[in-house]
Amino acid sequence: MTPLRLSILVAMAKNRVIGRDNRLPWHLPADLKHFKFLTMGQTIVMGRKTYESIGKPLPGRANVVITRQTDYEIPGAVVVNSLEDALLVCEETSTTDTENFIIGGEKLYQQTIKICQRMYITEIQSDFDGDVFFPQFDPGDWEETQRDKHVDGNLEYHFVVLDRNSSTT
Ligand code: NDP
């Protein structure tokens, strides 16, 4: 079987905030474009709250939504009741070209940061108020393989790619 390519995709503020009142705290169209570019044709895995925040399955991608509710149904998405089942769905549907993206939220990042091989992080270089955060991690476990700096008005943000050091897997 093809080894599972599992990547985290997140936008976070300098103070690690990723959301507020179940939505993104910033308006950054370039980041939404970046998200679309990376995920199109791939598999996206998300928690139920993130799904409800988006409001519909995202077209052109296999959508996997995790909830403990056994009667939760979404036409156009696969609903599973555990992370293990989500990873099984990814395994069963992946080809060598498939990248499986964990797209949030906080609860999903907490459970997958130890097992993903890559993180695409949009580092927003300002603090924001929020109620959900990206988990702390040891930078020594990761190698920064890309950093593209951008500015939108008075908001500076960097598209960063971190690959897990092979010694830590
Ligand atoms: P999540 O999106 O992580 O969803 C949490 C829910 O997912 C749980 O309540 C549960 O659903 C289900 N779930 C999680 N883990 C499991 C499991 N192991 N087994 C079964 N079900 C599980 O919620 P958060 O509140 O942590 O994050 C949402 C916030 O994150 C929002 O503010 C959103 O805007 C933000 N966000 C930010 C992103 C960014 O890049 N800045 C990206 C994505 C989200 P149930 O309660 O139905 O059982």
Asked if residue 58 is part of any domain, the answer here is yes
Residue 156 lies in a domain: no
What CATH number is given to the structural domain containing 41?
Answer: 3.40.430.10
CA of 96 to the centre of ligand 1 (A): 28
Q: Atom of ligand 1 at shortest distance to CA of 109?
A: 3
pTM: 0.97
Query: What mean pLDDT is reported for the chain?
Result: 96
pLDDT of the residue at 3: 82
Range of the domain at 103: 16-138
Helix ranges, the chain (H): 29-39, 48-54, 83-93, 106-112
* Domain assignment present for 5: no
User: What confidence tens digit (pLDDT) does each residue in 75-113 have?
Assistant: 999 999 999 999 999 999 999 999 999 999 999 999 999
Which helix (H) or strand (E) element contains residue 133?
strand 132-133
Which DSSP helix (H) or strand (E) runs through 164?
Answer: strand 155-164
